[in-house]
Amino acid sequence: MTPSRSSLPGEAPLEAPAIAAEDLWFAYRPGAWILRGVSLRVPPGGFWAIMGPSGAGKTTLMRILAGLLPIPRGRVFVLGHPLHESLPPAMRRMVGYIPQQLGLVRGLTALENVLMGALARHDGWRTALGFFPRAEIERAYALLDALGLAEKAGEKVIRLSGGERQRVAIARTLMQDPQVILADEFVSDLDLPRAAQVLGRVRELARERGLTVILNLHEIQLVQEFADHVAVLKEGRIVHESAAAALSWPALRELIEAPSEPSPVPAVPSLIAVDPRA
C-alpha cells in the first residue's frame, strides 16, 4: 500500500512522496522513545532540511530512512517501497546515505573512494579486486571534476581538507546512482562560505538529476538559502514544517526554547528497537 491519499474528484492526483514516514516511533532502549510519532512526506525532487537541537533525534531519523535501523512502530516508505518490510537489495542503492563522519577510506585516493560508490552496481570479483570498467572510472573522474576536484583525483583522502573530503563523499554517493540522498550534517565542519559553496553545488547536481535530498543542518542561513522546505525536530517530534525561507532565526529559537508539550506514549510499546551497532 502506498501512503498517498486518494484525490477528490476534479483534483489533480497527489504526487506520491519520495519519502514518507507515518507515525514513526523509535527507541534504542525499552521505553526510552527517541522518535515520538514522526510523520513527513518529502516529494520527489524535494530539497529538505531537518533542523533541531542536539539530541533531538535527527541522526536517528536519517538512519531509519536509510534503512539502517529497525522500525518498531509506524511506517516508512522510500520511493514507494515500505521500509518496515524487507527492502529489495536493488532498492538499497537508490538511497545514498552520507554519515556525518563521511565513511571514506582515508588510505585510498579520492578517485578510488568515488569508485566505491559503484560497487553496489558491480558486485563481481573483478570489481572487488579493483578492476572497474573504464566507463566507470571516467564517470568517477567526471563527478570529481563537476565538484571541482579533478586535480585531487589521485590524492589520498587523508591528505585532503575537510571540504574536499565532503565533496569526495558526495561524488561517491552520486556514483551509486541514487534517487535519494540523505546527508547527516555533512557540511558542519566547514566555515559558512565553504559550506555554502558545497551545498550550492550539491543542489545543482541534485536538480540536474531530479534527486530528492534530505540534509540535517544546523545553520539557519544555509537552510534559508539552499533548502526549499524545513522540518524542525525537537525531542523526537516534528514541531514545525514550512517553506525554508519562511523560517526565521527568532522563530527557530522560539520553537527550540519553548517548553515541551507532553507527548502521548504509545499504549502498547510493541517491538523494542535495538541498535545493532550500539
Q: Is 55 in the site for ligand ATP (CB under 6 A)?
A: yes
The option from Mg ion, ligand ATP, none interacting with 28 (CB < 5 to 8 A, set by class) reads ligand ATP
Taking CB under 6 A as the binding criterion, the range among 38-46, 55-63, 70-78, 121-129 that sits at the site for ligand ATP is 55-63
Q: Is 54 in the site for ligand ATP (CB under 6 A)?
A: yes
HEC sequence for the chain: CCCCCCCCCCCCCCCCCCEEEEEEEEEEECCEEEEEEEEEEECCCCEEEEECCCCCCHHHHHHHHCCCCCCCEEEEEECCEECCCCCCHHHHCCEEEECCCCCCCCCCEHHHHHHHCCHHHCCCHHHHCCCCCHHHHHHHHHHHHHCCCHHHCCCEHHHCCHHHHHHHHHHHHHHCCCCEEEEECCCCCCCHHHHHHHHHHHHHHHHHHCCEEEEECCCHHHHHHHCCEEEEEECCEEEEEEEHHHCCHHHHHHHHHCCCCCCCCCCCCCCCCCCCCC
Q: How far is the CB of 58 from ligand ATP (least distance, A)?
A: 3
The option from Mg ion, ligand ATP, none interacting with 166 (CB < 5 to 8 A, set by class) reads none
Q: Is 238 in the site for ligand ATP (CB under 6 A)?
A: no
Question: By C-beta, is 44 or 269 nearer to ligand ATP?
Answer: 269
Q: Is 188 in the site for ligand ATP (CB under 6 A)?
A: no
Question: By C-beta, is 57 or 178 nearer to ligand ATP?
Answer: 57
Q: How far is the CB of 227 from Mg ion (least distance, A)?
A: 17
Q: Is 60 in the site for ligand ATP (CB under 6 A)?
A: yes
The one among 4, 16, 22, 28 contacting ligand ATP by CB under 6 A: 28
Taking CB under 6 A as the binding criterion, the range among 11-19, 47-55, 103-111, 249-257 that sits at the site for ligand ATP is 47-55
* Euclidean distance between the first and the last CA atom of the chain, given in angstroms as a whole number: 32
The one among 39, 59, 127, 224 contacting ligand ATP by CB under 6 A: 59
Q: How far is the CB of 188 from ligand ATP (least distance, A)?
A: 9
Q: How far is the CB of 51 from ligand ATP (least distance, A)?
A: 9
> Cα dihedral sign for 166, 184, 188, 199?
positive
98: β partners: 183
The option from Mg ion, ligand ATP, none interacting with 178 (CB < 5 to 8 A, set by class) reads none
Question: By C-beta, is 131 or 249 nearer to ligand ATP?
Answer: 249
Q: How far is the CB of 33 from ligand ATP (least distance, A)?
A: 10
Q: Is 30 in the site for ligand ATP (CB under 6 A)?
A: no
Question: By C-beta, is 49 or 79 nearer to ligand ATP?
Answer: 49
77: β partners: 20, 82
Q: How many residues does the chain have?
A: 278
The residues binding ligand ATP (CB under 6 A) are 28, 34, 52, 54-60, 275, 278
